[in-house]
Amino acid sequence: MRIIVLVLFLCSSTIIYAQQFNTDNYLTMPHGTGTFVLTTGERNSGMVSSFALIENFEFFAQASLFSDGRVDDYNQHFTTTVYAKYMFWVNKAKTGGAAVFLGMGQSPGSFTQDGYSPLHKNYWTALPITIPFFNNTISWDIMPGALV
């Protein structure tokens, strides 16, 4: 059975194409692209979704739960955030550019034996900038931002 799965995987891998887009830089996904990720483990679970519904824009929703049932009196908590990114400049070679993030989130709410500690809202912004140097040999990524 393992050999069959391996053969099917190797055969299908030559016809499957994918592109990973990171949210922590100036690049936006191509219009019409979306990503939805669910993860779970012994201590952490999460959901991340991102969608490029408008040209040069991305919209995100994210939630994370930190819980460890193996440890008594473990402080369980969760966070949520939603944000948008707008890519407003890209150089001619498409090796550098800039964008702006605007978001709001809640972090972290806690569940303990004494009850629930409510979330507090955060409003934040960031400006990711990528500057290429030496004929695109080296790139410098900076991301100033603010949190209220």
The residues pairing with 84 across neighbouring beta strands, listed in sequence order, are: 59, 102
User: What pTM does this model have?
Assistant: 0.70
5-47 tens-digit pLDDT:
666 666 655 555 554 555 667 788 888 888 888 888 877 889 9
50-70: buried (b, 16+ CB within 10 Å) or exposed (e) per residue? bbbeeeebbebebbbbbbeee
Please report which confidence band the pLDDT of residue 129 belongs to, taking 50, 70 and 90 as the band edges.
very high
Task: Give the span between the Cα atoms of 10 and 29, in whole angstroms.
Answer: 28
With a pLDDT cut of 90, the percent of the chain lying above it is: 29
Q: Hey, what are 49's tokens?
A: 């979704």
Q: Hey, what are 15's tokens?
A: 């016809």
Task: Give the span between the Cα atoms of 106 and 101, in whole angstroms.
Answer: 16
